[in-house]
Amino acid sequence: MRSQLQNEIFDSLHISKDKLLDEMGILLASHQLSEYSMEISFFEQKYQSSFDGFDAVFQQKQGSLELEDDWMAWKFAEEGKTYWQTLLQKVKP
């Protein structure tokens, strides 16, 4: 019954299951990229700096736990953004 309903929906949308999965994968990857980009923007505004500038200052002086937490979160966001951008560039025409 469920499979029949799914087939009816796919037929009505003129899309195959494989195409739908591809589109959903791209949508989810784009969402991840957006999440990391927003987090990076938050830190750039908070510290009025890029990550590289913040990293240079952070490495030169001992900071508070808050600075260290922000550095780790920001670095993780930068790495995540790079990962999802690279992945999406491979799959988008």
Both tokens assigned to 79 = 């790495």
Taking the CA atoms of residue 21, residue 24, residue 30 and residue 34 in that order, the dihedral angle to the nearest 10 degrees is -150
Q: What residues does each domain of the chain span?
A: 21-91
Under the banding of pLDDT at 50, 70 and 90, the label for residue 93 is low
Inter-helix orientation angle 51-60/17-47, to 10°: 50
Average pLDDT, the chain: 91
pTM score: 0.81
The pLDDT value given to residue 33: 98
Under the banding of pLDDT at 50, 70 and 90, the label for residue 92 is confident
